[in-house]
Amino acid sequence: MMAVLRCFDSEHRHLGVVEIAERTGLHKSSVSRLMTTLELEHLVERDPVNRRYSLGLGLLSVAGTLLADLDVRRTAYPVLIELAARTGESCSLMVWSDDQAVCVEQVPSSQTIKHTTSIGTVYRTTASSSVQALLVDRPEAAVDEMLGRGLLRLQGHVSAPELHAALEQVRLRGAAVNDGATDPGEVGVSAPVVDHRGETVAAVLVAAPRYRVDKALLGSMVQECMWAAGVVSAALGHPAQDLAGMAEAT
């Protein structure tokens, strides 16, 4: 059942029985029975016209308690509000779960044209800034294993060594930039949030329509995103001197 639910992501929001069967390796009749059960529990919804499925609101009742208990989410929310005010763009908090970056909080831009990352949105491609920020302290072998198992999809990088080189640049700079690599109309900037143990536990994401992001604004987005990640990291007990050193390295 979980394999069926994991078929849905930001790139595959609406799927038919045949597509789900192909992605899971299950027989179509088994998928059909599973989808009927999931629909009864409101975990998926079926479009009455095209008969394709999407994730249902029932998942929120399952995830709500978990989201409420996330210390990093509670800590980050007021910082995201300020970050959205400072940048004028949509700001999100991403965490790593089941080999993917998952949005657990968002403050949308007040501008009419904006990019939004809805709560529950997942990213698995290596060109995603949030994926890079969350992989930044992972051992190369662990990243290679995820690539080998197909849990991560190379995009914007032609090989694993190129990805590792890109992650090293993220470590040095303190932030990852996705300048239209996953969507030609979007720019995303992410910076890792580090806790008292020195482990990356989340990433702050600023996303904007690409047409209004020039070089100067992109540089400002990077700095503001790093500022926000630093504030959240400090609140989680990460030493302030380490954060200052990371900022100087950029």
Q: Tokens 């590792």 correspond to what residue? A: 164
- Same domain? For 130 and 40 the reply is no
Phi, psi of 225 (to 5 degrees): -65, -40
**8: containing domain:** 2-61
Question: At 225, which CATH number?
Answer: 3.30.450.40
Secondary structure (3-state) at 3? helix
Listed residues 11, 44, 61: the one ending a domain: 61
**Distance separating alpha carbons of residues 170 and 177, to the nearest angstrom:** 8
pLDDT per residue over 32-42, tens digit each? 999 999 998 88
User: Percent of the chain at pLDDT above 90?
Assistant: 60
Please say whether the beta carbons of 88 and 111 come within 8 A: yes
pLDDT per residue over 100-114, tens digit each? 899 999 999 999 999
Least confidently predicted of 18-22, 30-34, 68-72, 208-212:
68-72
Give the 3-state secondary structure of 189-238.
Answer: EEEEEECCCCCEEEEEEEEEEHHHCCHHHHHHHHHHHHHHHHHHHHHCCC
- Same domain? For 91 and 167 the reply is yes
pLDDT per residue over 125-159, tens digit each? 999 999 999 999 999 999 999 998 888 888 888 89
- Same domain? For 156 and 102 the reply is yes
Q: Cα dihedral sign for 128, 129, 134, 138?
A: positive
Please count the structural domains in the chain.
Answer: 2
pLDDT per residue over 211-247, tens digit each? 999 999 999 999 999 999 999 999 888 875 444 444 4
Q: What is the pLDDT of residue 58?
A: 76
Q: What token pair was written down for 211?
A: 């047409």
CA distances for 90 relative to 46, 105, 110, 118, angstroms: 29, 11, 8, 10
Q: What is the pLDDT of residue 116?
A: 86
Q: What is the pLDDT of residue 64?
A: 53
